Structure 1
Amino acid sequence: MSGNVNRGTGRRVTRRVRGVLGAAVAVCAVTVALPGVASAEPSGAGAAGAAGVERISVAADGTQADGDSADASISHDGRRVIFSSSATNLTSDTASGGSKVFLRDQRTGQNQRMGDLSPIGPPVISGDGEYIGYAHEWITNVRIRQYQTSTGRTASLNCSAYTCDQASLNTDGRYTAHVLRYPRQPTFGQRIEVQDWNNGGANQNVATFAHTKPSKPSISGDGRYVAYQDGQTEDVFVWDRTGATTSGPIEGPDKAASLVQLSDDGGKVVYLSGSDTYVHDIRTGTNQLVPNVKGLAIDPTGRYLLYAPRDTSAPSLVLRDLRTGTDEVVSAQPASAGTDAVSAGGRDVVFQSAADDIVPGDTNGKSDVFARHLY
């Protein structure tokens, strides 16, 4: 991939959403049948498409990782999972020397190492699974390197002498939202930009701040919207490429907020305020309250919210159908997850955990990446 590669228009993944499971909490999962992959299956499961959970951070033959794995994200169709790992045995060409980024193809069960660089922060993946990106150290700065998964071609964002990080990719990888700052002059503040790879890598300014507190951009699937936060005022805004207009603060004037994620369809913004999570509907301007939980991710359709209950006696990860209010347990064991952890229609959730009882035969004593398939 080069900075001038023409990336075609991405096609939105459409899934048939499962029906209402009833008022009680429903616990279900799916296991994809992959050679040598350890999985936990409820009674009666076993074939591909049956309920279960599988460990992603293993070699193609099922060998356990010899290092810690974390920071998983999943493509919209659930086929590709990206994660970072210090393991040296996930691929035949993995060398030691810090964490590396790996792509797991769920259809083939094969792993692919994405470059030799060590990531700074979680890697990200485009909705179609064709592009991945991550920040890494570059001389005295930080750069974002992107890879095309099918060809291995690479390109770096056009950051000049600045530091670029906090990348967010749209569905087909054409647009990359990121934060740009000048590390040797922090008083210069920072900018949120969107780079268009089909326009010679040209950057479009989204917002400019006189500070370097977290900004955390999140871009919609078509690249039209970018949600971001002002870490100093603790406000969340939404930028619209059409007319380059900005709306917000979406949480209103009376409370502080921090951004979680913008849904791929550009319709919902998840943000935190106090001990609660809110899902803001951009079209209606209304907020849906999910009390006493920490929102972690929203699926591409904006219907399913992954959250961590603040009640320590509750399961660590839960997926909520925002339309019906139905909850499904993703992990009862201690676990965590990041944005882009849920595939379209809430079918798959990827997460990390050091628990050794999620799947049978987990004896490596490491943090692993798992996928729970909910139907």
Structure 2
Amino acid sequence: MGVSLAVLAALVAVPGNPAWAATYDTVLVSRATAGTAGNGDSSAPSVSADGRYVAFASDADNLSDADDNAHTNVFVRDLTTGTTTFVSRVDGADGAAANGPSADPSISADGRYVVFSSTAANLSTQDEDTCMSLFWGLPEPCSNIFLRDLQSGTTTFVSRANGAQGAASDGSSYYPTVSADGTKVAFTSGGANLSTEDEDECYIDGGGPHPCTDFFVRDLQAGTTVYIGNAPIYRIGPCGPAISADGRKVAFETDGISIDDNNGYLDVVVYDLQAGTASYVSRADGVNGALAFGGPSTCPSISADGRHIAFVSDAYNLSADDVDSFDTESVYVRDTQEGRTTLVSRASGAAGAVAELRSFEPSISADGRYVAFMSRAMNLSADDLDTCYDPAQGTNRPCPDVFVRDLQSATTTFVSRATGAAGAGGDERSTNPSISGDGRLVAFESPARNLSADDSDAHRDVFARDWGAGLPPPPMTDLSLTVTGSAAAVPVGSNVTFTVRVANAGPAGATGVAVTDQLPSGLTFVSAAPTQGTYTSATGLWSVGSLAAGASATVQIVARVATTGQKTNTAQVSAASPADVDSTPGNGVPGEDDQASVTVNGTATCAASTATRTADYDSWITTSWSTTNFGGDAILKVRSKASADARTLVHFALPSLPAGCKVASAKLRMYVSSAVGTRTLRAVRLAGAWTETGVTWRNQPTTTGTAATVPAVKGWVEWTVTSQVAGLYTDGNHGLQIRDATEGAAGYEQRLHSRENTSKPTLTVTFGAA
């Protein structure tokens, strides 16, 4: 008695606003009363009208002490009291657990009644224990339909023929769905004895007859069972019928109900038990819209009054927006009163982008305004960024996720995410949504581990989320951050100024804004000047405070460069409220716009110096003897004469370039022992290697860059070769070439001393700060 009284107390308590159900909360449903998460897979959620109760099936054996077997069982979780009730049991408050697997729960509007299917042999003495297989005509355990009254603690056998004690179905029954008050149950069955109107026969190709699957409605008060139509031949599910709140209308998928059905595909129809008529649902927009063509239509979900029916279709003619360009299933809603068909599986906006991948499993709210569905598409919400590993493909693919379409506001909301308006998306697939009658709560199944802190295992669990139905979109900020440095290269001991700017593009104002900018090693804090808030150098925390939409703030941080090498200074928004539309504070993701970096290079301080070098090798060459080498001569020649031009090549072992320095000045000096005519001597950088004993006119290297020039006079001449020598440091030291600025003249020859002579060629290099 204690159990039934506890259950009764839980059921009659009417919460005005369930304490758990804060908007945007996501909670673990498949757990024991003590709070322990289920230790097996859980699935198939069904939600009561107000979202307080969630029925589900589970392989877990730790959800209830009454579950003393290893079978799948059915449970109900009360999200207000936090209790979990064992459902699939024999008649009586403490009835024995079902001794076979139970599945397919459907809960009444008030949460009192739960129907389910089970192959257990101990739930009723009146059901058949063995039935003919739907496919091969062989004996198998019967699946029967039962209804559990959680208030009275009774279990009622449902899948039976007309009469209070009608014969048990002689075929297996599946996928029950219960009316709002728990008095009527629609289900699928292969039984041939449930109605005299069920006259169809099915055959295995080349063999004898086997059970046909058909749809029935059992009225538990009247004790009647009504045949409403045939199910797809040779097929069970995955979708069963859907019944309206008053039990008058039932939607289901079928191969055909009349000669008008000539499309060759499964169609969705709705049967009116009061009028005894069936009409097509899966048809194009318009009262007499064309029947769906191009693919099957399946899996209906019906609103409380039976007017709105959501369904899945692979047809390409149901909406002008969905022409099957993605060759995939979409979700639609048919308004049977107005004759309108609306595409559901699309992004926000009246003309939002059509889901780019398959969409399934619709569940419609009582008033037909909201439709929850599952989709693999990643273009339905900017928040849906998750991918899952697909073992069949051996790669990551878009995760199936759960969404809700609001047909009134034309918005699509991402639902399968952790607590919070912008909670993280599930890190695994989320499927099989069930929406409460008021549209506020969506339950779904997922093996994701990041949806609840209470779920740390890899089992498939059932979760429930209050997604904010009917509320305006939550206020969102859009914070972005930039970081700039006053210089890219800074000498050690000098200061660099970092400017950090945080801006809020709105639409909502931000409060509690904080930015973390901890200076990296090698930079020493000097000062900080924020336009608002305070900066703490020890922690790198800039407490900004509030930023209105469109506002910004900056802080200038001065640091001294202490060491050489690159230093990257990274700043990130580390706290803010409310949530940001495209980033998460403090998550360390460089790709988000609330994090930015800048790199400065610490350079060594140059100690100015001058070094002089004597040529370490030189030579001269002439076109007159194009293959002759003159590397050992004491005299170097420069000549301008047709067919007898001569050039001098000289090389110096350059002094090392001091750290932090550049070539500030370079002077080349050579002694001219004989100068003929008024000529100009040109010095230019050589671009390739050569040797003193091997270079000739024919194999001389090319030159590169600009030339330095001086007049040819007897005695010492000096070229300023600063840029030429700087190029030797950066591009390779191959020496310099000396030639007449105008070759091929009448015959002018200058003679210069080589390194083998007195007054040798010299190069003086002066280094200064880079």
The amino acid across from 2:303 in the alignment is S
1:76 Cα deviation from its structure 2 partner: 0.5
Aligned residue among 264, 277, 286 for 2:340: 286
CA distance in 1, matches of 2:454, 2:83: 20
**Contact 2:245–2:304 (8 Å) recurs in 1:** yes
Distance in 1, Cα, partners of 2:220 & 2:150: 16
In structure 1, the partner of 2:107 is 125
Offset of residue 149 of structure 1: 1.3
RMSD: 2.5
Per the alignment, do residues 58 and 286 of structure 1 end up closer, same or farther by CA in structure 2, a change over 3 Å counting? Answer: same
Per the alignment, residue 364 of structure 2 pairs with 298
Specify which of 243, 246, 255 is matched with residue 275 of structure 2.
243
- Comparing 342-351 with 154-163, greater Cα deviation is found at 154-163
Q: Is the 8 A contact 1:187 1:210 kept in 2?
A: no
Flag the 1:96–1:119 CA change in 2: closer, same or farther, 3 A.
closer
Cα 1:154–1:186 shift into 2, 3 Å? farther
- 201-210 or 86-95, which moves further after superposition? 201-210
**Residue 144 of structure 2 corresponds to which residue in structure 1?**
143
1:102 Cα shift? 0.8
1:154 maps to a residue whose letter is T
Q: Counterparts in 2 of 1:252-331, with a 5 A limit? A: 252-255=290-293, 256-274=296-314, 275-290=329-344, 291-292=354-355, 293-312=359-378, 315=384, 316-331=401-416
Which residue pairs with 2:233 in the alignment? 211
Q: Does 1:220 align with 2:244?
A: yes
Tell me if 1:53 matches 2:26: yes
Matched, 1:347 2:440: yes
CA 1:161–1:89 in 2, change beyond 3 Å: closer, same or farther? same
Question: For 2:23 and 2:174, how far apart are their aligned partners in 1?
Answer: 39
1:361 shift after superposition: 4.2
Tell me the SS of whatever aligns to 2:415: strand
Q: Which residue number in structure 1 is paired with residue 46 of structure 2?
A: 73
Counterpart-to-counterpart distance in 2, 1:186 and 1:100: 33
Aligned to 1:27: none
SS at match of 2:51: coil
| 1:90 paired to 2:122 | no
Q: State the shift of 1:209 in Å.
A: 5.8
Whole-Å separation in 2 of the counterparts to 1:90 and 1:105: 13
Asked whether the equivalents of residues 57 and 102 of structure 2 are also in contact (C-alpha less than 8 Å), the reply is no
Q: Does the Cα contact within 8 Å between 2:299 and 2:362 map onto a contact in 1?
A: no
TM-score, normalised to structure 2's length?
0.41
Between the aligned partners of 2:154 and 2:292, the Cα distance in structure 1 is: 47
1:265-293 deviations in whole A, cap 9, x for unaligned? 21111111222211000111110013433
Equivalent-residue separation in structure 2 for 1:146 and 1:59 (angstroms): 22
Give the AA of the match of 2:306: G
Q: For 2:440 and 2:377, locate their aligned partners in 1 and report how far apart those are by CA, in whole Å.
A: 25
Matched-pair contact (CA < 8 Å) for 1:31–1:54: no
- In 2, distance between residues paired with 1:97 and 1:329? 35
1:338 is paired with a residue of what secondary structure? strand
Match of 1:338 in 2: 432
Q: Check conservation: 1:213, 1:231, Cα contact below 8 A.
A: no
Distance (whole Å) between structure 2 residues aligned to residue 267 and residue 53 of structure 1: 30
Correspondent of 1:202 among 206, 221, 224: 224
Q: 1:163 to 1:64 in 2, by over 3 A?
A: closer
Give me the identity figure in percent: 28
1:225 deviates by 0.6
| Cα distance in 2 for residues equivalent to 1:71 and 1:49 | 24
Aligned to 1:13: none
Distance 1:58 1:211 in 2: 38
Structure 1: how far apart are the matches of 2:101 and 2:70?
Answer: 12
Distance, in Å, in 2 between the alignment partners of 1:143 and 1:186 is: 21
| Structure 1 residue 296: Cα displacement | 2.4
Of 359, 367, 373, which residue of structure 1 is paired with 2:460? 367
- The alpha-carbon deviation at position 177 of structure 1 amounts to 0.7
Q: Measure, in 2, the Cα distance between the counterparts of 1:177 and 1:295.
A: 18
The answer to whether the Cα contact below 8 Å between 1:167 and 1:217 also exists between their aligned partners in 2 is yes
CA distance in 2, matches of 1:66, 1:164: 28
Over 3 Å counting, the alpha-carbon distance change for 1:311 and 1:188 in structure 2 is closer
Output the CA distance in 1 between the equivalents of 2:184 and 2:255.
Answer: 23
1:308 CA displacement: 2.3
**Cα displacement (A) at 1:186:** 5.1
In structure 2, the gaps of 5 or more residues are 1-15, 90-96, 122-128, 131-141, 161-167, 193-201, 203-207, 257-264, 284-289, 315-328, 345-353, 385-400, 417-424, 469-770
Match of 1:112 among 85, 97, 105: 85
Q: Assess if the C-alpha contact under 8 Å between 1:73 and 1:338 holds in 2.
A: no
- Which of 1 and 2 has higher RCO (CA within 8 Å, sep 6+)? 1
Distance change >3 Å, CA 310–CA 356, structure 1 → 2: closer
Distance 2:415 2:18 in 1: 13
Q: Secondary structure at the match of 1:198?
A: coil
Distance in structure 2 (CA, Å) of the matches to 1:310 and 1:343: 23
Q: How does 1:153-172 map to 2 (within 5 A)?
A: 153-157=154-158, 158=160, 159-172=168-181
The one-letter code matched in structure 2 to 1:235 is D
Residues in 2 aligned to 1:245 and 1:358: alpha-carbon distance in whole angstroms: 45
Larger Rg: 2
Distance in 1 (CA, whole Å) between partners of 2:77 and 2:369 is 26
Distance 1:210 1:305, change over 3 A: closer
Do the aligned partners of residues 59 and 227 (structure 1) sit closer, same or farther apart at CA in structure 2, a change above 3 Å counting?
A: same
CA distance 1:210–1:338, change in 2 (3 Å): closer
Decide whether aligned partners of structure 1 residues 210 and 264 sit closer, same or farther in structure 2, where only a CA change above 3 A counts: closer
Deviation of residue 362 (structure 1)? 2.4
Q: CA deviation at 1:249?
A: 5.2
Secondary structure of 2:151's match? coil
1 CA distance for matches of 2:220 and 2:61? 33
Return closer, same or farther for 1:210/1:31 CA change in 2, 3 Å cut-off. closer
- AA aligned to 1:368 is D
CA distance in 2, matches of 1:54, 1:356: 12
Contact 1:91–1:112 under 8 Å retained in 2? yes
**SS of aligned partner of 2:221:** helix
Q: What's the counterpart of residue 190 of structure 2? A: 181
SS across alignment from 1:242: coil
Matched residues in 1 for 2:109 and 2:410: separation? 26
SS at match of 2:31: coil
Which residues of structure 1 form unaligned runs of 5+? 1-15, 17-29, 34-47
- Cα distance in 1 for partners of 2:232, 2:435 equals 34
Contact 1:104 1:112 survives alignment (8 Å): yes
